[in-house]
């Protein structure tokens, strides 16, 4: 037995192979390429990161200021909750866009809820937190708690 006899007969052939479905396979590749190129400029899906509002947290000596961009939302669309020293901003974004032109009509809708949480310092008074929304920008001001007082405890001898 020679090593050449282990190779299948079809591989030794010098004749070009003819695939009967090759034109259809080429057409499928071309159509896929066209749709891939077409989709590059569009956002077909809304992802979780698209729904997350941009949030800034600024801390000063007296307060913590949390600003969240919520375009198109009003105070009835947003909730601000505090539990166990965690401030949570929740809401739902609903957007509908319609464009009309001579040659086309485009209608886009996106819906989804979001939630952002910020841990607050221990001892924060939830009743002192103030929140306001204006022009799609939510501003939450959290007064910082007074610094903990250190009290020296006198030690007595047990005799």
* Domain positions in the chain: 48-143
Q: Is the pTM of this model over 0.75?
A: no
Residues 100 and 107: beta-carbon distance below 8 Å: no
Q: How confident is the model at residue 3 (pLDDT cuts 50, 70, 90)?
A: low
pLDDT tens sequence across 43-94 = 555 555 556 788 999 999 899 999 999 888 888 889 999 999 999 999 887 7
Q: Of residues 3 and 120, which shows the higher confidence score?
A: 120
Q: Which residues contact 58 (CB under 8 A, 6 or more apart)?
A: 64, 65, 66, 67
CATH of 48-143, one of 1.10.1470.10, 2.60.40.790, 3.40.50.2300, 1.10.357.140: 2.60.40.790
């Amino acid at each position: 037995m020679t090593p050449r006899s282990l190779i299948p007969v079809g591989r030794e052939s010098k004749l070009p192979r003819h695939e009967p479905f090759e034109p259809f396979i080429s057409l499928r590749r071309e159509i896929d390429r066209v749709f891939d190129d077409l989709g590059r400029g569009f956002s077909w899906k809304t992802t979780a990161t698209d729904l997350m509002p941009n949030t800034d947290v600024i801390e000063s000596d007296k307060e913590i200021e949390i600003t969240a961009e919520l375009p198109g939302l009003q105070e009835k669309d947003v909730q601000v909750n505090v539990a166990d020293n965690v401030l949570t901003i929740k809401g739902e974004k609903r957007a509908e866009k319609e464009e009309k032109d001579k040659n086309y009509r485009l209608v886009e809708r996106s819906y989804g809820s979001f939630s952002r949480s910020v841990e607050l310092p221990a001892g924060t008074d939830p009743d002192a937190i103030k929140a306001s929304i204006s022009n799609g920008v939510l501003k939450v001001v959290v007064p910082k708690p007074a610094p903990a007082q250190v009290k020296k405890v006198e030690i007595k001898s047990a005799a």
